[in-house]
Amino acid sequence: MNTQARKKGVSSVGERGSRDLRFAIIGSGMAGILSAVKLEEEGLTDFTVYEKADRVGGTWRENTYPGLSCDVPSHLYCYSFARNPDWSHFFSPGYEIQAYFERVVDEYKLAPHIRFGDEVVSCSFDDGRWKISTRSGHRDEVDVVIAATGVLHHPKYPDIEGLECFEGALFHSARWDHDVLLEGARVGIIGTGSTSVQIVSAIVDRVQQLSLFQRTAQWIMPATNPEYDASEKRSFRENPQLIADLRAATSQLYDMFSSAVVDAGSAQIKGIEEACKANLVNSVVDPALRERLRPDYRAACKRLIVSTDFYEAIQKPNAELVTEPIEAVETKGVRTTDGVLRELDVLVLATGFAVDAFVRPMSVEGRNGVKLDDVWADRPEAYLSISVPDFPNFFMLNGPNGPVGNFSLVEVAELQVGYIMSLVDRLRSGECREIAPTEAALREFESARVQAAKKTVWASGCRSWYLDDRGVPAVWPWPFERFRVEMSTPDWTAYEFCG
Ligand SMILES: Cc1cc2nc3c(=O)[nH]c(=O)nc-3n(C[C@H](O)[C@H](O)[C@H](O)COP(=O)(O)OP(=O)(O)OC[C@H]3O[C@@H](n4cnc5c(N)ncnc54)[C@H](O)[C@@H]3O)c2cc1C
């Protein structure tokens, strides 16, 4: 339902009375900023955005590694209501995305709502309201919590013997140490995901020696990344329809991708596979290196990497692909199981994130003292990735099992916020004071999701961060269009209303 249609709904139910609602938004990344804009737009101005860091931006604030860029086209990776004619590239660098989010906060005058440097440590539902406590001891009481705490947020550190003994510079890719000089350094990178690939391409010409420690080879989708020149930017500014057309075209492409990955037998996924294979064959000259770079699983089983220049970078004379497993990290470098020690000055852990944390470590206590930690003891679950039975008026953005991977999470969050606003309308109208999904709705959703996940390419036989402890892909397993449909109007029979 669009804002206008929802507003119509509000005014009709509003005749039965309306309530003033207070909100807490937790997190000021892409999704938290979006929520703030949308609350303002709906005239719901009584809210605080809690942000534990000292700046907005989330992912794009924390990740500053060389080569960071979005692998979703820039004109798609931005809000539908705040388009940007000035993107520098088809895929723009991370610092531009960070600047974009900061600009949106300025333009929408959100700063007075944001409480920086204060982490929400607990939310507990008591007497129909959420009691919020922060690390500084601040207390708040709200009707609705929007948890926009991020999904790729908590760095994951590898369990490698001796890591703490390394005498050189050692850091996670999401905690890049810009004081460390790369020029002339011997640099090791552990991990081969999208981040690692971006770093390799960005630094290979700056360092003396680059060793990429690969546990799993990756399929690489070829891409180009054209720069937008001044006249193109002017055209985008003068004719917004051009941006709309570009968004529609790229969105269609990503929709096709989403339909391909959820059907491992589809012709489209085979096409993607062929493109990746051809990229490997056409780009890597040395047959032995080519074979070491060739994955033994299907393309897109792991998050598909998009790169313009990784193969070129890894073939440079000062770059080395190390496929022997790591035995241990020592004071001087990394020793592999063949006994070779590669001496290093810098060791980068491009080892990803703990993807099943979601709102945790924040403590969340719902009705009758039910703890989210207990409910999620096996694994996190949420109805439509947004809400959990017994946790009324607590809504997550980019929560468990949602569409994540090679999509624009901005569109995902916009659809989720629209849906949440429909739920909020019910609270606002005074129709009910508490809204939460039923246990039956969650069970039905989960069982359909797990069933559908079996058909996806993510379940076709590889190790990846998409898989939960049972080996079931913990992501939205249907085409993206289905997500749009689900998000357009709540199925009210899936909810219980109290008060
Ligand atoms: C390297 C990298 C590349 C990526 N590339 C893409 C891409 O190409 N396309 C794509 O769609 N997505 C990509 N992503 C995913 C990206 O995380 C999302 O697109 C988006 O930024 C998520 O926004 P968010 O607001 O949900 O979460 P985040 O950006 O993680 O923001 C969460 C915010 O909440 C704050 N917070 C968390 N807990 C608390 C608390 N308890 N109290 C107070 N504050 C709290 C954090 O400090 C943070 O500011 C990438 C992620 C990474 C790490």
Per-residue pLDDT of the chain (499 residues; tens, 9 = 90+): 344 444 333 333 334 458 899 999 999 999 999 999 999 999 999 999 999 999 999 999 999 999 999 999 999 999 999 999 999 999 999 999 999 999 999 999 999 999 999 999 999 999 999 999 999 999 999 999 999 999 999 999 999 999 999 999 999 999 999 999 999 999 999 999 999 999 999 999 999 999 999 999 999 999 999 999 999 999 999 999 999 999 999 999 999 999 999 999 999 999 999 999 999 999 999 999 999 999 999 999 999 999 999 999 999 999 999 999 999 999 999 999 999 999 999 999 999 999 999 999 999 999 999 999 999 999 999 999 999 999 999 999 999 999 987 779 999 999 999 999 999 999 999 999 999 999 999 999 999 999 999 999 999 999 999 999 999 999 999 999 999 999 999 999 999 999 8
Residue 142 CB coordination number (10 Å): 20
Q: Ligand 1 test: best mutation among 50, 100, 153, 408, most atoms within 8 Å of CB? A: 153
Is residue 396 within 8 A of residue 384, CB to CB? The reply is no
Q: Which atom of ligand 1 is nearest to the CA of 398?
A: 26
Residues 6+ apart with CB under 8 A from 60: 29, 30, 94, 95, 97, 98, 101
User: Which two three-digit tokens encode residue 369?
Assistant: 């003292």
Residue 498, burial from CB neighbour count under 10 angstroms (0-12, 13-18, 19+): exposed
Ligand 1 centre distance from Cα of residue 95 (Å): 14
Q: Which atom of ligand 1 is nearest to the CA of 71?
A: 8
| pLDDT at res. 128 | 95
Is residue 246 within 8 A of residue 75, CB to CB? The reply is yes
First CA to last CA distance, the chain: 25
Residues paired with residue 26 on neighbouring β-strands, in sequence order: 50, 147
Residue 430, burial from CB neighbour count under 10 angstroms (0-12, 13-18, 19+): middle
User: Which two three-digit tokens encode residue 153?
Assistant: 């947020």
| pLDDT at res. 12 | 34
DSSP annotation string for 444-489 = HHHHHHHHHHTTSGGGSS---TTB-TTS-B-S--S-HHHHHHHHHS
Residues 6+ apart with CB under 8 A from 191: 158, 173, 213, 215, 349, 350, 351, 352
| pLDDT at res. 407 | 77
User: Which two three-digit tokens encode residue 133?
Assistant: 């406590």
- Report the candidate in 91, 61, 60 with the shortest Cα–Cα distance to residue 75: 91
Ligand 1 centre distance from Cα of residue 274 (Å): 32
Q: Rounded to whole angstroms, how far apart are CA atoms 155 and 39?
A: 30
| pLDDT at res. 410 | 97
Task: Ligand 1: list residues with CB < 6 Å.
Answer: 26-32, 50-53, 58-59, 63, 70-72, 77, 119-120, 148-153, 195, 362, 397-398, 407-409
Residues paired with residue 394 on neighbouring β-strands, in sequence order: 145
Closest C-alpha residue for ligand 1 atom 21: 59
Is residue 221 within 8 A of residue 272, CB to CB? The reply is yes
Ligand 1 centre distance from Cα of residue 475 (Å): 16
| pLDDT at res. 46 | 98
- Report the candidate in 467, 445, 458 with the shortest Cα–Cα distance to residue 385: 445
Closest C-alpha residue for ligand 1 atom 45: 27
Q: How many CA atoms lie within 13 A of 194 on its CB side?
A: 21
In the three-class reduction of DSSP (H, G, I as helix; E, B as strand; rest coil), residue 129 is classed as strand
Q: Which atom of ligand 1 is nearest to the CA of 407?
A: 11
Q: Which atom of ligand 1 is nearest to the CA of 412?
A: 11
Ligand 1 centre distance from Cα of residue 63 (Å): 10
Ligand 1 centre distance from Cα of residue 28 (Å): 9
Residues 6+ apart with CB under 8 A from 95: 60, 64, 68
User: Tell me, what DSSP letter sits at residue 173?
Assistant: G
Ligand 1 centre distance from Cα of residue 57 (Å): 8
DSSP annotation string for 92-114 = -BHHHHHHHHHHHHHHTT-GGGE
Ligand 1 centre distance from Cα of residue 23 (Å): 20
Is residue 368 within 8 A of residue 390, CB to CB? The reply is yes
pTM: 0.95
Ligand 1 centre distance from Cα of residue 149 (Å): 7
Q: Ligand 1 test: best mutation among 409, 414, 465, most atoms within 8 Å of CB? A: 409
